[in-house]
Structure 1
Amino acid sequence: MKSEFKSLLSDILSEDQLIAFAEEFGGTRLYVPCKPSTQMGKAIIAAIGEEGFTQLSTFFGQDYIRVPLLIILRANRYRGAGLSNAVIGRRLGMTETGVNKIFSNLAAKGELLPKGSKPLANVQDVQSINSGARCFCCGHYNPERETLPEVQHIAAQDGDLVGQIE
């Protein structure tokens, strides 16, 4: 059933839309509304666009779906976009060793994308991502947001927070 659902999703959405959908909602049970004016409709449109929402709501409107994580697809596409294994691991919530195993399995099947061969729509500045230009609060990459300096907290003897040192 799971592979049939993933296959159906890949028939409905483009690969870039699938990846954006999994990045935003992967691992959750998601209500797909019929109307784009609802709060959830707007959130889905923000992730995959109006065309993607229309296609998704045609098949799954007024129903709940379990959004797959698509770890293997995302890892391969991130590699194709030129991201380093460390960055791929952080984006997928796994270790570099796990990423290497995924790539070994894909290479054995002949499905491994060459590094930098297939850019992703939502990954524009690979050099900044690979060099660590990311948000300190949660680790995601956002080109419009400046990174914040890390702040060291000093605690009092009783455990209360008393100040910050930059």
Structure 2
Amino acid sequence: MDVANVVGITKAYCTRVGEGPFPTELTDTIGERLRKQGNEYGSTTGRPRRCGWFDAVITRYALGVNGVSEIFLTKLDVLDGIDEIKVAVAYEIERNGKKEKIDYPPQSWEELSRCQPVYVTLPGWKGKTAGISRYYQLPVEAQHYVEFLEMQLGKKISYISVGQDRADVIER
């Protein structure tokens, strides 16, 4: 059976559970803010999740492996009020004594743990996205963020959640 459409789901920022490399991890006040605002705690254990900036490198890879044709972007509202938002668009890694810029995840955890993210910084937005039901009503900076992610991922973001309720979804 052929599947005509695969919707991939990703957050507007990254999280990770457990150990292992996480190139965009934030161990500062912004990471803590994302954790609190996004309620990023394990549902069974209550352990805090690791939070970081959006990683377009690893997300592009996951979309390709899973045959994703369009995206559902969740938790955009968690980024409300952040002055600047970063997106990792590539990695820099040292190999054989030379720094190399790559736009794909390396195959080994050891190499991934040595990767430094190459960021593009975008302006954040002051307005709230929660409760908004139409894309054009989002703050212009939030729209630019969504469109930048689409450009980086090569996929349309067809759905955006701006809250926890079923009704808090913008369909584009």
Higher relative contact order (CA 8 A, sep 6+): 2
Which structure has more helix as a fraction of its residues? 1
Fold match by TM threshold 0.5: no
If the length of structure 1 is used for normalisation, what is the TM-score? 0.24
Which structure has more strand as a fraction of its residues? 2
